[in-house]
Structure 1
Amino acid sequence: MPRSPRRPPQLRGRVFRGSVAVGRGLLTRNDLRSSAWRPLFRDVYADAQLPVTHRTRCTAVGRWLIPPGGAIAGRSAAALYGCAQVTTDDPVDVLVPSGVRVGAVAGLRVHHGPIDPGDILDRAGPAVTSPERTCWDLALWLDLVEAVVIIDALLARRVTDLPALRGYAVARAGRRGWRAMLRAVDLADAGAESPQESRTRVRLVLAGLPRPRTQWIVSDRGRFVARLDLAWPDYRVAVEYDGLWHDNPEQFHSDRRRLNQLVGGDWIILHVTAKRLREDFDGFVAEVRAALRSRGHVTRVPR
């Protein structure tokens, strides 16, 4: 009958350095290969019964793998602020000072750059880039649309605000990344309520359409009628993103009922889904452009 793996009580429910556990005689190298322990990074393990999240991995990186002066950054920093969707096994983004060498570690994505005073916050958890520096790095490292998606979330949660972001970029005018940050900030909107709403809005604007208003409230003689994801109220045209929450039949019917009221009130409501965004965005842009044109707006096509 196979013997159960060793699980010393000192290590249960914990993340630890394998070499330290071996050095203290708690485990052997063979024990570390058993099903009782989950490898997170080189020489970093977790109790296999411990729920491991991206935050857990960031904490381990901050404790053992980041050199002095470095910090959790980019998407990982945004995740620590509660503003980015990352999976447990996504690489942890780390920012280290220019010129500091860091050996390759599987699961770690290391970025080098100048770090100013105030760029790193060292609180109860791992060292993390400030919200403003996080947005700078997102604009520099990510596709423009995806950077704005996360910046929208940071704004919506009031982790930072537009004046602070613009001021941060302008104070670093001429440095690599400042124009990218300003462009992302100019496209950002604290009113977005989901990543897909952000993606839809930004891609429509980049396609040459006028910037829509987010979460626009429609009322009739002071009575609430509906709140629209994206709207051009001057033209009474709106876009609604249909997400997976519409699997709820009651919510679906309630949503459609309120939108029918808008159609009766002379609004044009266009619906978009993840599949449409992924497979036929150009066709959707053409539909929005045609709806706006039918209401008198002359749209431009970007060169």
Structure 2
Amino acid sequence: MPLSAHVIHGAAAVADGRVTRTTLRSRAWCRVIRGIYADARTPINHELRCRAVATFLLPTGGAIAGRSAATLLGPGLCGPDDPVETITPRPARPRIADVIPHTGTVGPDEVRTIGGVPVTTALRTCWDLAQWLTLEEAVVLVDRLLHARQVTVTDLTRYADHRAGVRGIRRFRRVIALADGRAASPQESRLRVALRLAGLPAPQVQHEIHDSAGFVARTDLAYEEARIAIEYDGVWHGDAAQLHRDRQRLNRLQAAGWLVLHVTSTRLRTDLDGIIREVTQALHARRRTRP
């Protein structure tokens, strides 16, 4: 089989004469992670990086885990330059910048194989995400696993019950309580979790609104009793045709008595406190004006 069909360990390939160091430094090859190369025509993505780690660096009993596992399971967010997360029964050596190693015990029923690569199951991945990430980012990924039907809330609750008393269980249950698989995007998840952590009531997710003429909109987040809708505006909302549809939709929502608050990616990143303050003020104002 030709070399181009493989991801190769550079030092081993040079040692057995398959390639030379000069060849590896040429445009014919590209670095996948430190010391491991692929044919330059091979698209470098996170899945390829995971395969390289699993093939050449992962100790026996280890698995791809965390954010990397979520990506291999389908709905993860890792890009081609993100480090690969692993879990192994013993501390990994040597440590390299391309890999984030975690140490822990993984049961045989907590690992599955995807394309020949050992990967933690969706349930175990959710547990690990809850332990390793911030609460907000863990919920973002658990939302995506729920949305992709890799797990269910019932699955997560049973897994938590099975691990009752284990260190980290309170954090895991907190993630479950905040998670919602109806979230349509990571940013919507981040916004919803931020509102919850600020002490605000849980908004409805992907809430459908109707008027006398029928269906009006499905809003990202909503407080139905107060008639407040919160919309996350991604870059696609800047399209002229989409803007036209958005304005028609907004007019119908307002005519139906709904207050619509818009959140952009810039504000979510730089003015989260301001967003929370606006939502809080809107809720208080609507409660005062209710008959």
Match of 2:261 in 1: 270
Q: Secondary structure at the match of 2:260?
A: strand
Q: How far is 1:219 from its partner?
A: 1.2
Q: How far is 1:13 from its partner?
A: 4.8
The structure 2 residue matched to 1:228, chosen from 219, 223, 236, is 219
Looking at structure 2, the residues matched to 242 and 83 of structure 1 have their Cα atoms a distance apart, in angstroms, of 21
Match of 1:11 in 2: 3
Looking at structure 2, the residues matched to 212 and 283 of structure 1 have their Cα atoms a distance apart, in angstroms, of 18
Does the 8 A contact of 1:13 with 1:50 survive in 2? no
Q: Within the alignment, does 1:243 sit opposite 2:234 as a pair? A: yes
1:230-267 Cα distance to aligned partner (Å, 9 max, x none): 00111111100111111321112202211210111111
Q: How far is 1:144 from its partner?
A: 0.6
Does the 8 A contact of 2:67 with 2:85 survive in 1? yes
Q: TM-score, normalised by structure 1?
A: 0.90
Looking at structure 2, the residues matched to 111 and 238 of structure 1 have their Cα atoms a distance apart, in angstroms, of 41
Looking at structure 2, the residues matched to 207 and 167 of structure 1 have their Cα atoms a distance apart, in angstroms, of 28
Does the 8 A contact of 2:143 with 2:179 survive in 1? yes
Looking at structure 2, the residues matched to 150 and 160 of structure 1 have their Cα atoms a distance apart, in angstroms, of 12
Does the 8 A contact of 2:32 with 2:48 survive in 1? no
Q: Within the alignment, does 1:216 sit opposite 2:207 as a pair? A: yes
Q: Tell me which amino acid in the other structure corresponds to 1:17.
A: H
Q: Within the alignment, does 1:88 sit opposite 2:80 as a pair? A: yes
Q: Within the alignment, does 1:47 sit opposite 2:39 as a pair? A: yes
Q: Secondary structure at the match of 2:225?
A: coil
Q: Tell me which amino acid in the other structure corresponds to 1:243.
A: G
Looking at structure 2, the residues matched to 222 and 254 of structure 1 have their Cα atoms a distance apart, in angstroms, of 17
- Greater shift, 196-205 or 169-178, is seen at 169-178
Q: Within the alignment, does 1:77 sit opposite 2:69 as a pair? A: yes
Match of 1:37 in 2: 29
Does the 8 A contact of 1:41 with 1:105 survive in 2? no
Q: How far is 1:40 from its partner?
A: 2.2
Q: Tell me which amino acid in the other structure corresponds to 2:111.
A: I
The structure 2 residue matched to 1:286, chosen from 254, 277, 286, is 277
Q: Secondary structure at the match of 1:215?
A: strand
Identity of aligned residues (%): 48
Higher helix share: 2
Question: Structure 2 stretches of 5 or more lacking a match?
Answer: none
Trace 1:150-169 onto structure 2 (pairs within 5 A).
Answer: 150-169=141-160
Match of 1:6 in 2: none
Alignment size in residue pairs: 288
Match of 1:103 in 2: 94
Q: How far is 1:123 from its partner?
A: 4.1
Q: Tell me which amino acid in the other structure corresponds to 1:94.
A: T
Does the 8 A contact of 1:241 with 1:273 survive in 2? yes
Looking at structure 2, the residues matched to 238 and 43 of structure 1 have their Cα atoms a distance apart, in angstroms, of 51
Q: How far is 1:271 from its partner?
A: 0.6
Trace 1:79-228 onto structure 2 (pairs within 5 A).
Answer: 79-97=71-89, 99-221=90-212, 223-228=214-219
Q: How far is 1:31 from its partner?
A: 2.1
Q: Secondary structure at the match of 1:165?
A: helix
Looking at structure 1, the residues matched to 167 and 25 of structure 2 have their Cα atoms a distance apart, in angstroms, of 44
Q: Secondary structure at the match of 2:2?
A: helix
Q: Tell me which amino acid in the other structure corresponds to 2:86.
A: V
Looking at structure 1, the residues matched to 272 and 34 of structure 2 have their Cα atoms a distance apart, in angstroms, of 42
Q: Tell me which amino acid in the other structure corresponds to 2:26.
A: S
Q: 1:279/1:23 Cα in 2 relative to 1: closer, same or farther (>3 Å)?
A: closer
- Greater shift, 30-39 or 178-187, is seen at 30-39
Match of 1:300 in 2: none
Q: Secondary structure at the match of 2:103?
A: strand
Looking at structure 2, the residues matched to 194 and 45 of structure 1 have their Cα atoms a distance apart, in angstroms, of 33
Taking only aligned residues, the RMSD between alpha carbons, in angstroms, comes to 1.7
The structure 2 residue matched to 1:295, chosen from 259, 264, 286, is 286
Superposition misfits of 4+ residues, deviation over 4 angstroms: none
1:124-168 Cα distance to aligned partner (Å, 9 max, x none): 331000101101111110011011011101000101011111211
Does the 8 A contact of 2:7 with 2:52 survive in 1? yes
Q: TM-score, normalised by structure 2?
A: 0.94
1:77-112 Cα distance to aligned partner (Å, 9 max, x none): 001112122221111000111x35432133011000
